[in-house]
Structure 1
Amino acid sequence: MLTRRMLNRALLDRQMLLRRHDVKALAAIEHLVGMQSQAPLSAYVGLWTRLPDFRHEDLAGLLTDRTAVRIALMRGTIHLVSADDCLALRPVMQPLLDRLLRASYGRRLGGVDLDELASVARALMEERPLSFAELEELLGQRWPGRDGLAQAVRAVMPLVQVPPRGVWGASGQARHVHAESWLGRPLGDGSAAGDMVLRYLRAFGPASVKDMQTWSGLTGLRSVVKGLDLVTHRDENGVELFDLPEATLPGPDAEAPVRFLGEFDNLLLSHADRTRVMAEEYRWRVFTVNGIIRATILVDGFVAGLWRIQRGRVERAGETAVLEIEPFEPLGAATRDALAAEGERLLEFAAGDASARDIRFLE
């Protein structure tokens, strides 16, 4: 039987948060089975908090040389993944994207042949990358009066968001091309579901089938799990948890340094029962009604508050950056000192160009 604290330490260990791991950014992205990238720059903080000496250009270079891409995958949300994982995982996610399309735009697309729509859209994007607004307008000339044509294209074909979107220090509207055209290689055959589950457990386990389905958005994974060589545990509520036979579990008292997580970090989104990392009473403060997952701090391995960087100009002082830390409960002096020290490093990374930097605790 695995206690909540044991599951917490196992998750932190596999998420590279008990210690920073000296690996390349691409290796980290692949180990994590991608990083949610709904906020285009959140993955930079996610890698910074997991890797020593991570630099902005380490990720920016992966995007510009097409070694990594941003594409809709797990849960139908934008993820940063390696090019290899893009091609392997996107076909596995097709049933999810089909289901989401039927639920959201199915009735509005009556009479539209989706194969024809995909063919026309791909030809348009071969000419130049297109935003959804541009794609919607062009497709509307072929199918007037229809709504959600661009979203339908995203569901039926793999669209990657091309740079400068997602590149630190650059700006640009989200524009899309077909993944095969961008990467110059074909998609996989959709047979990678079993490998995907094994990799999920390597990055998030031990976990239940419901956890796997929460992370991926897919259904029917129990049949996939039955075909794998896994070991089982139980949590304190008797829920069956699966894990890799070779996986090790750190002790429940393993030290967990304070950490700053960026917006939409998958640590908070990849289990049906999130209490292994966040108390239920804090969920409403982290998960907003409009779908934003706020940036959080971890204290002793659990979500303990929020953080944000406010930037502004001060007369004669130039631009200033203030890291605001908003704990959910009062913090001890040692914890405040640890957060301040880590916060200084975060400010240097995220706002190194500011002429002045400060840290404020909002208590």
Structure 2
Amino acid sequence: MGILSQHALNRALIERQMLRERADLGAFATIERLVGIQAQEPKSPYIGLWTRLQNFQPQELEDLLVSRHVVRILLMRGTIHLVSAQDALTLRPHMQLRLDRELQSGPFAKRLEGLDLDEVAEAGRKILDEAPQGTADAGKLLQPRWPDREHTVLGNALRNKLALVQLPPRGLWHRSGRAICTTLETWLDQEQHAMPRERLVLRYLKAFGPATVMDAQQWSGLTKLAEVFEALRPQLVTFRNEAGKELFDLPDAPRPDPETPLPVRLLPEFDNILLAHADRRRVIADDRLGVVVGGKPTVLVDGYVVATWTISKDKTITVDYIDELPRSRKKAVAEECDRLQDWLRT
């Protein structure tokens, strides 16, 4: 059992996240390979795909959304993800327990006390399947039945209890809009069917490994994955990180040389690699996690977050450096910003 340094873990993550070299791959295959893309901000998946793929154009993703090959849905960690239709159907059942716990302990918990949430969900399902709309709007239609409850509280219950898809034009590049929802089953005309937890862990490792059990639980929001890793142990290889914690990985997964040179990359808000581990130091220092929580797009130099970036209405990118960098590195950042600006303006 060897030891993997932070640099080794960084290079493995960058390679698997297609951030060392832009891949000659389609958007759909990339979304499946990454087990989805964070999508709280409707346009961030487009930037995430641009930074990973050769010749990516927004129309490709728009077509996938409109044709229902990919969907926007609440998944890992109770956040909106863009995933393939089949992944939505097979991942969403795993998230229900966490989403139920959120209703019991979150900001709406006291205002939900005494409600039969399953009854609320079933009534909401009928409304949203008959006429897709915002969850708060559906909450207003539920109020005559539960007049002592605020419509926003009822709508939040629907958000967690039902597998809701945000319908286009929400998430389109050229025009977006409010989050209008219907149920996943109605949108895809299929029932949910949970993928085996072993399959979920293997896919996580392929996209984000090597990783600890706690890393996988942080990414997924699930608990009790240690028993899954133990069942998979004969199929996996193990390492230790510099703190001595056990890391699991797929035997044939790439683990590049820690000194592998890396290009500058611009990441969108809440990019996958910033949220998928309990110990995020493989890509961002602990004292910089605030930029992720704050939803700021970030800049990777040599594989690590060193700056944030913003874009103006005229598509001009401004970089705010956290670290002081040599002139040559700043030049490389400026060149990547120019490439993104050119793409955004086409």
Q: Determine if the TM-score, normalized by the shorter chain, exceeds 0.5.
A: yes
* 1:334 equivalenced with 2:328 (yes/no): yes
Q: For residues 58-77 of structure 1, what are the structure 2 equivalents within 5 Å? A: 58-77=60-79
Q: Which residue of 2 aligns with 1:47?
A: 49
The 5 A counterparts of 1:91-110 are 91-104=93-106, 105-110=108-113
SS at match of 2:242: coil
In 2, Cα distance between the equivalents of 1:323 and 1:199? Answer: 34
3-state SS in 2 of match to 1:303:
strand
**For residues 300 and 117 of structure 2, what CA distance do their matches in structure 1 show?**
45
1:195 to 199, 202, 208: 199
CA deviation after TM superposition for structure 1 residue 171, in Å: 2.5
In the aligned structure 2, how far is the partner of 1:26 from the partner of 1:263? Answer: 20
Preserved CA contact (<8 Å) 1:201 1:243: yes
**2:342 corresponds to 1:348:** yes
Structure-2 separation of matches of 1:215 and 1:170: 30
CA RMSD of aligned residues (A): 1.3
**Aligned-residue offset at 1:333:** 2.3
**Post-superposition offset of 1:191:** 4.4
CA distance in structure 2 between the partners assigned to 1:110 and 1:277 by the alignment: 41
5+ long unaligned stretches in structure 1 = 312-319, 353-363
Q: C-alpha distance in 1, partners of 2:328/2:195?
A: 50
Output the CA distance in 1 between the equivalents of 2:76 and 2:190.
Answer: 21
Residue 107 (structure 1) shift: 3.4
Match of 2:281 among 275, 285, 307: 275
Q: Secondary structure at the match of 2:276?
A: coil
1:72-87 aligned within 5 A = 72-87=74-89
Determine the C-alpha separation between the residues in 1 that align with 2:112 and 2:43: 33
- 1:122 correspondence with 2:125: yes
Distance in 2, matches of 1:265 and 1:177, equals 26
Find the aligned partners of 1:214 and 1:198 in 2 and give their Cα distance: 15
For 2:144, what is the secondary structure of its paired residue?
helix
- State the Cα distance separating 1:113 from its structure 2 match: 2.2
Instruction: Give the Cα separation in 1 of the matches to 2:315 and 2:296.
Output: 19
Matched length: 339
TM-score normalised per structure 1: 0.91
Equivalent in the alignment of 1:316: none
Query: What's the counterpart of residue 234 of structure 1?
Result: 240
Pair 1:177-2:171 in alignment: no
Alpha-carbon deviations, 1:5-34, whole Å to 9, x = none? 000000000111011111110110011111
Amino acid at match of 2:276: S
Is 1:162 the counterpart of 2:164? The answer is: no
The aligned counterpart of 1:357 is: none
Separation in 1, partners of 2:339, 2:145: 52
Give the partner amino acid of 2:216. Answer: M
What is residue 146 of structure 2 aligned with on the other side? 143
Cα distance in 2, alignment partners of residues 79 and 222 from structure 1: 25
- 8 Å CA contact 1:89–1:192 kept in 2: the answer is no
Report matched runs for 1:176-325 at 5 Å: 176-188=181-193, 190-228=194-232, 229-284=235-290, 286-287=291-292, 291-311=293-313, 320-325=314-319
C-alpha contact (below 8 Å) 2:10/2:283 kept by paired residues: yes
